[in-house]
Structure 1
């Protein structure tokens, strides 16, 4: 994997050794904050280096003086054609065409594996996302978290992490009783009983009608003869299975497929053995005590029940308040199940836990981070990504609720109307913690203003160039070896600019993985597509810049190598997002 920024970072560290820079305190220099990045303004060069500013205070010298010494060494580098010290001590580099031509040849060698890295070093990462209550079909609110979690998991895997995609089934709460009672009504309806209007508090959507019909077919009227608890237990089991099958189908439409579906019931099985064991483990580590909590902020004293409880000492590990584990009736709190679930994940060997949650879960962040720290002894990391709300529009007008679901627009309805790819791309075309407006009309229009169309159109254009080349040049071979062999013919500024944009891809993947920000990939793909379309348009105005030059097969090969590399990166990036890289637009 060729990451030119990491390559030059190593070159800078060797220069620091050559200059024999010494820390004032006699210790080793801290080189960890040295960064080699693309400059914010392309006119400043190809690479911007902050090494002088990182080192100046450590060595007791002026930053620009250190920068000048580093610059003098960089001028000896055969790949460098220009060095400039700028601002407080940045070192800006320009690299020669030969360097970029060699990068293109390397990209063609790696094909769609270009950008893959081993920075994850096989660390086991559990990415949990969606995890909606199994009480109905997926709705559009679940859509964003599904895409963010899935794309992040793909990027982490591509960067060398050992990733498991997980769905937590909330099948042990009050909502399951409501679901069972709602399905009981539909069961009676299927038997021919008049059920009237669905009572308030139950699920009104007609997605439970087939569940009722299946129950009637399996049990006849037998369930009505059983004790209510037994009947509702059977109904709950069948209904959860039916809802999970529906959820899996809905998510598959979005190209989301989890490897693990973890049932909350597992934690409560065998007299809550897993929860008891997890609390015992926390107790032995000194994180559990008997005590009282102050009343929540904003609550009057007379409304507060002041009593001794079993508490998790979460304030010792970063939380704002200690958390109850056992209710006054002896049953476990919802948070106690979280303790057991986190312990279960750590027992499965995961080093890093990532949760992708909805906007209403921001209050979970500190308590869950504290919990992971306590259970793992600080050995594991836990990250919670919050996905803000998605608002649906059609030509600027808010979209009405779904008839089928009764209360919301289903994920299936959105996929069937606009397709999987626009949803996956556009859900990433804004950072997850910012609200997102999704307009059905805008995400399907064929224009530069529609990012997913613009990127996929670039992919289709790369393939159309090869079709054109085969039509005009007949049997000329277009294998990768012959394409990369001609890379030295690429000298136009637009061609070099495209290679530079391609060279950013490995660094982009690594930064998106480390920062847990998959939206960076969507932004990059749009920038790459824009650079490619821009160069294409230059060829429209100037025939000498066109990709296919019938009278110059070698130059054609060089330019087709560039087109192939663009196609490879678009294919790779779109696959990580979970979208298709089309060979033609229909």
Structure 2
């Protein structure tokens, strides 16, 4: 049950009874009508801009229209007060009975409260992480992994059919560099003194076990082969080893993809998929033969001052046309990007989301151009850029990792503080804003540590049930139908807690549609804060305590409220990929 959707429908029904609306017939556009919590809680429980957005098309002034709507709403038995503020905002206060019925719904729904059909089963592909398989995941990958994973969970909860995808960049020059780096470690494993790793190769110690495995499997045979023979063997083993490490790192962060898509499959069979994608663009008039002016600044690797096959991307929103086939007949990196997007489109996705690092900002326009050229208006593409993460320990910058060579690995961060603090804190800023991550702060047990504060709220909820079983040993809290007691929840502060819970379905839909999972982390902190505040009121006023030894019925009713809070906290934490503990030790 979505409180705000419910009252949006009631307000529309009230509008349809007005003569000036009837005169317009079906020509009234309600799309800009919004029902939301008022900015100031003292003004009411629900607010709407209906009069503000409909007065002009209806040929009246906002205040007069607001008064007419208010009179209709006052006839609603669930409404106890309607006031018109300013030029025409309408504030509505709801009856105690409405909140009690809503509480019963939340209790019955459990962790499914807030689940929505707003996505209507639309197929969405969320591609995230997609790091080159050349080494361990670093903390920069960590943020994109969490944002992408939480967004996919969120959209799934909102009714979208979501596929979580990882694009393995296992073709191109960086894989050649990886193979040569591994081959050096292989020679080292055979007992050869290799000295310092040459510039341009990957120096990290994480490649040592790969070289040792090759030495154990092949002995000296690879060493006796020419490069064109050992290179494909070493490439395969290196990619497999790197992807095994990456999957393990992601699993430690509770990130699990549905699809791992290999770039090399696009180059298989003479690059048939790339060729087909270019042919389709050619058929649509998006490809031509020509030359490009030299770009400003440093020249990219794939730029040529010769005639080549170009994507007419400026006609679909890009800044410059993009090369697809070089003058020597080889395909550019961008050509593979085009083929990959087309493959997603052919798999039936109507929406594609790419979660990339901030350093990929230059890809946004070209990807949007590809989406328009391949899918036209039938496909939506969104690129979310994740800004940098800076690591601190007690306010001091964290030094680089010895294992990786020049960065702090994702696994090191997770191993030190645990996956829950990492996941939750990576969502506690909008992805487009820089994020400071302090190892000390994310493990302290205080209100200033959001993940602790939210998890502690759930643990406190569970402690109330343990307390109830001690007070009433014969009480079976598992089989008890707590929703039947919701009408006994009457205190104003308790109903305010219900009102906070009522925001959850609207939050889910808004966060999914705007693709902003950080909103959920903020909401969970606010809900936890409301619950802790009510808990503290019980310390000062024994009548507000959740469990009262001398009042069994009141205690059972309040257990229903606690169950509702726990369910929403558990639901939201699950979407963020974070545990909801029963106890905090």
Same-fold status (TM-score > 0.5): yes
CA distance in 2, matches of 1:386, 1:473: 53
CA distance in 2, matches of 1:375, 1:480: 55
CA distance in 2, matches of 1:393, 1:454: 21
In structure 2, the partner of 1:70 is 69
Partner of 1:127, secondary structure, is strand
Q: How does 1:17-28 map to 2 (within 5 A)?
A: 17-22=16-21, 28=27
CA distance in 2, matches of 1:311, 1:539: 70
Partner of 2:196, secondary structure, is coil
Deviates more, 1:331-340 or 1:235-244: 331-340
Does the C-alpha gap of structure 1 residues 179 and 73 become closer, same or farther in structure 2, counting only changes over 3 Å?
Answer: same
Partner of 1:125, secondary structure, is strand
CA distance in 2, matches of 1:54, 1:204: 62
CA distance in 1, matches of 2:260, 2:538: 52
CA distance in 2, matches of 1:576, 1:27: 40
In structure 2, the partner of 1:182 is 181
Cα deviation per residue 1:77-130 (whole Å; 9 max; x = unaligned)? 111111111122111111011110110000111111111111111111110000
In the TM superposition, structure 1's runs of 4+ consecutive aligned residues that sit over 6 Å from their partners are 23-27
Are the equivalent residues in 2 in contact too, given 1:313–1:322 (CA < 8 A)? Answer: yes
In structure 2, the partner of 1:375 is 374
CA distance in 1, matches of 2:430, 2:417: 21
Are the equivalent residues in 2 in contact too, given 1:6–1:36 (CA < 8 A)? Answer: yes
The structural deviation recorded for 1:480 is 6.5
The structural deviation recorded for 1:290 is 2.1
Partner of 1:29, secondary structure, is coil
Partner of 2:309, secondary structure, is strand
Deviates more, 1:251-260 or 1:57-66: 57-66
Partner of 1:443, secondary structure, is helix
CA distance in 2, matches of 1:276, 1:305: 20
In structure 1, the partner of 2:90 is 91
CA distance in 2, matches of 1:393, 1:401: 11
Are the equivalent residues in 2 in contact too, given 1:129–1:146 (CA < 8 A)? Answer: yes
**Does 2:510 match 1:511?**
yes
Are the equivalent residues in 2 in contact too, given 1:109–1:480 (CA < 8 A)? Answer: no
The structural deviation recorded for 1:231 is 0.5
**Does 2:193 match 1:194?**
yes
The structural deviation recorded for 1:574 is 0.5
The structural deviation recorded for 1:492 is 1.3
Does the C-alpha gap of structure 1 residues 290 and 27 become closer, same or farther in structure 2, counting only changes over 3 Å?
Answer: farther
The structural deviation recorded for 1:541 is 0.6
Partner of 1:290, secondary structure, is strand
Partner of 1:324, secondary structure, is strand
Partner of 2:377, secondary structure, is coil
In structure 1, the partner of 2:37 is 38
Point out where structure 1 has 5 or more consecutive residues left out of the alignment: none
TM-score (ref. length: structure 2): 0.97
Partner of 1:372, secondary structure, is helix
The structural deviation recorded for 1:34 is 0.7
**Does 2:28 match 1:29?**
yes
CA distance in 1, matches of 2:29, 2:306: 52
Q: How does 1:50-449 map to 2 (within 5 A)?
A: 50-297=49-296, 306-449=305-448
Cα deviation per residue 1:216-268 (whole Å; 9 max; x = unaligned)? 01111101121212211110110000000000000000000111000000111
The structural deviation recorded for 1:16 is 1.7
Partner of 1:354, secondary structure, is strand
Partner of 1:218, secondary structure, is helix
Are the equivalent residues in 1 in contact too, given 2:132–2:169 (CA < 8 A)? Answer: yes
**Does 2:18 match 1:16?**
no
In structure 1, the partner of 2:46 is 47
The structural deviation recorded for 1:286 is 1.4
CA distance in 2, matches of 1:47, 1:179: 59
CA distance in 1, matches of 2:256, 2:74: 51
Does the C-alpha gap of structure 1 residues 388 and 24 become closer, same or farther in structure 2, counting only changes over 3 Å?
Answer: farther
Cα deviation per residue 1:462-503 (whole Å; 9 max; x = unaligned)? 000110110011112324753221211222121011100000
Deviates more, 1:58-67 or 1:276-285: 58-67
Does the C-alpha gap of structure 1 residues 26 and 299 become closer, same or farther in structure 2, counting only changes over 3 Å?
Answer: farther
Deviates more, 1:16-25 or 1:38-47: 16-25
Deviates more, 1:285-294 or 1:128-137: 285-294
Does the C-alpha gap of structure 1 residues 101 and 361 become closer, same or farther in structure 2, counting only changes over 3 Å?
Answer: same
Deviates more, 1:143-152 or 1:312-321: 312-321
The structural deviation recorded for 1:142 is 0.5
The structural deviation recorded for 1:292 is 3.1
Partner of 1:355, secondary structure, is strand
Point out where structure 2 has 5 or more consecutive residues left out of the alignment: none
In structure 2, the partner of 1:484 is 483
The structural deviation recorded for 1:176 is 0.4
CA distance in 1, matches of 2:97, 2:238: 64
Are the equivalent residues in 2 in contact too, given 1:24–1:58 (CA < 8 A)? Answer: no
CA distance in 1, matches of 2:364, 2:25: 41
Are the equivalent residues in 2 in contact too, given 1:24–1:59 (CA < 8 A)? Answer: no
Are the equivalent residues in 1 in contact too, given 2:84–2:90 (CA < 8 A)? Answer: yes
CA distance in 2, matches of 1:501, 1:274: 51
